[in-house]
């Protein structure tokens, strides 16, 4: 292979770009309004799939209840795998209603009120953790394709008459 060409892993690059966008949205949900706007809802499924690949299916999402004494001392709630929780943020409308900053779930016959910003913080930690493993998976499944090296200088030629 000549020095003019470098190798580029397309799946890894696409996965990393999707992860940056997904993590950026989650950060905005923590810092600003906790609900997903219409544009974010439209691309949410693709972003989650492209960001986590198969690694979101094995990662369990466990939410720590901030005030267990209010809810019969329930300390942790197992929501299932991370990917399905992220998908439910849109499909079960956990984070799509503009006037809501919380949602309710029934766990062990107890209704628990969950603050959306706090929930996004917990999701953020798990998404970042699963993202690094998903990047490794993307590297292994990624085909290499030749990429031309970027120019470092230009050569100007005089016009011949």
What's the distance, CA 34 to chain centroid? Answer: 15
> What is the DSSP code (8-state) at residue 149?
P
Q: Find, among 14, 47, 39, 72, the residue nearest to 123 by Cα.
A: 47
Q: Residue 91: inside a domain, yes or no?
A: yes
Domain count, the chain: 1
**pLDDT block averages, 10 residues each, the chain of length 161:** 51 90 96 92 93 87 92 91 92 84 90 94 95 84 61 68 59
pLDDT of amino acid 1: 42
Which pTM was predicted? 0.78
Q: Residue 53: inside a domain, yes or no?
A: yes
Find the domain containing 118 and state its range: 5-148
Query: Which own/partner contact pairs does 143-146 have at CB distance under 8 Å and 24+ positions apart?
Result: 143/9, 143/10, 143/11, 144/7, 144/8, 144/9, 145/7, 145/8, 145/10, 146/1, 146/5, 146/6, 146/7, 146/8
pLDDT of amino acid 135: 85
Q: Residue 110: inside a domain, yes or no?
A: yes
Q: Residue 161: inside a domain, yes or no?
A: no
Q: Residue 153: inside a domain, yes or no?
A: no
Task: Write the burial class of residue 160 (CB in 10 Å: 0-12 exposed, 13-18 middle, 19+ buried).
Answer: exposed
Q: Residue 43: inside a domain, yes or no?
A: yes
pLDDT of amino acid 150: 64
pLDDT in tens, 88-105: 998 888 888 888 899 999
Q: Residue 114: inside a domain, yes or no?
A: yes
Q: Residue 75: inside a domain, yes or no?
A: yes
pLDDT in tens, 69-81: 988 889 999 999 9
């Amino acid at each position: 292979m000549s020095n003019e060409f470098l190798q580029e892993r397309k799946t890894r690059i696409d996965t990393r770009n999707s992860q940056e966008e997904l993590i950026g949205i989650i950060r905005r949900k923590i810092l600003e309004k906790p609900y997903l706007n219409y544009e974010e809802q439209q691309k949410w499924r693709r972003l989650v799939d492209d960001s986590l690949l198969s690694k979101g299916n094995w990662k369990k999402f466990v939410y720590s209840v901030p005030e267990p004494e209010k809810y019969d001392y329930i300390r942790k709630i197992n929501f299932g795998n991370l990917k399905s929780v992220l998908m439910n943020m849109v499909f079960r409308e956990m984070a799509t209603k503009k006037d809501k900053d919380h949602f309710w779930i029934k766990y062990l016959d107890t209704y628990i009120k969950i603050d959306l910003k706090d929930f996004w913080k917990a999701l953020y930690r798990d998404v970042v953790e699963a993202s690094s493993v998903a990047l490794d998976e993307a590297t292994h499944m990624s085909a290499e394709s030749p990429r031309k090296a970027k120019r470092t200088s230009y050569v100007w030629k005089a016009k011949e008459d």
